[in-house]
Amino acid sequence: MEMSNKTARELWLEVKANPNRARFGFGRRAALVNIDLQKAYTKIDEFKTAYETDPHQLDYVNSLAAQFRQLNWPVIWTYVAYMDSGEDAGVWGTRTNTPDSLQNIKFKSRRSEFDDRLRINRQQDVIYCKKMPSAFFETQLQSLLVWHQVDTVILTGGSTSGCIRATAVDSLSRGYRTIVPEECVADKHESYHYANLTDLMLKYADVVSVSDVSAWLTQQGADRGNLA
């Protein structure tokens, strides 16, 4: 094992700065999967479980979602919420039992609500309640992506070290090109955040700027216009 005294942020910046790093690249058709942007994880002034990395994260997510809708590509939002008994959290909900614990994000609670700053189109967008870290686990996401003939999955939300990473691994494992816009994901501590961005970049996904994703989406719209 290679040893280092560098911080997780420093290691990430080294990987990010490598001009020769290989990429999976974008495919032909994408889906936007926005993971758990609910008040339990976004309202830093209200809940201990919330976190913020880029203060403009939700603005960027809203902008990407608008571009996806213009292309008639799928926009998916996930959230977590559990029964009063918490049994649907399984063993994941057994280590602690405090008001902040995962299994105590109850249906119709404030912690389960999407952040009010999000611009969700409830007639057009798809919303899934998930129980485990990956957005693929026991949801209809895979079937939806097949129906839309998607080959690229773009992930936003949180946390970078948890549900983003789990979804990215599942996405790659299912054969999707997986893209993580750096400004659109967040975590509780910079160490977890940057360590997992590094690992995602090296193994499972392309971590790019949100401007790169936006530019690609703009080009897809332009290409469609040229074919009209």
Question: Which residues lie below 8 Å from residue 215, measured CB to CB, with a gap of 6+?
Answer: none
Cβ(41)–Cβ(49) under 8 Å? yes
DSSP string over 79-100: EE-B-TT-GGGGGGG-S--STT
Residue 129 φ/ψ region, left for φ over 0, alpha for ψ in the -120 to 50 degree band, beta for the rest:
beta
Is 184 designated active site?
no
3-state secondary structure of 69: helix
Burial class (CB in 10 A: 0-12, 13-18, 19+), 8: middle
Say how far apart CA 190 and CA 95 lie, in whole Å.
24
Catalytic residue among 35, 40, 163, 207: 163
- The CA distances from residue 138 to 13, 31, 101, 204, in Å, are 35, 18, 22, 21
Known catalytic residues are 163
